[in-house]
Chain A
Amino acid sequence: MTDVKTRIDETVKASDVVLFMKGTKDMPQCGFSSRVAGVLNYIGVDYTDVNVLADEEIRAGIKDYSDWPTIPQLYVKGEFVGGCDIITEMTLSGELDGMFAENGVTFDKDAADKIREANG
């Protein structure tokens, strides 16, 4: 494994939920990153944000690591879950809640229901 892969591997395994994004959870710098961070913030998930704009090696390396060409990328328990479109669909269908529940990730179910009510 190359150095950057090792770094990414350690990062995704160091926290239950890790979001690779453009910008930070408090200041996203891309609409797609903002959308996913916004969902996680809103439903109260404790997650690690990795700003790929601050680290060119990670920005390039994460695409090979996941075999996925775009940012944001969400990882839960070290497993790649998806990008913006997948997370949006999973949020609205309730699959995201189910996945967090299965993995023992704490979140606010009422807030998640509110997102669905507002977008139903």
Chain B
Amino acid sequence: MPMQAQEIEDLLRESFPDAEIQVGGHDGVHMSAMVIDESFRGKNRVQQQRAVYAALKGKMDGANGDLHALALTTKAPE
């Protein structure tokens, strides 16, 4: 089932309560998300994006997942 931007943001907010989060896209299947969080500092991009995928709790799991594609941008605050 497609996901609303708000659902994605809510899931991310649970794992990253103090992050700056922007979710874009509108078809619920091809979405984008930017997460800027202090917990990313010192981590490489793979580690940062794994943390985001973990927060989405399986919503990205391929053919059976709700989200087909999520373009991700992650970084620590400047």
Contacts and interface: CB of A to CB of B under 8 A. Distances in A.
A60 B46 contact: no
Contacts of B72: 85
Interface size on B, as a range, is: 10 to 19
A82 B45 contact: yes
Given A32-B69, A70-B69, A85 B49 contact: yes
B76 interface: no
Interface in B41-78: 45-46, 49-50, 53, 60-62, 65, 69-73
Contacts of A63: 61-62
A70 B69 CA distance: 8
Interface of B: 45-46, 49-50, 53, 60-62, 65, 69-73
Given A67-B50, A85-B49, 10 more contacts: A63-B61, A68-B46, A68-B50, A69-B62, A70-B69, A81-B46, A82-B46, A85-B71, A86-B45, A90-B45
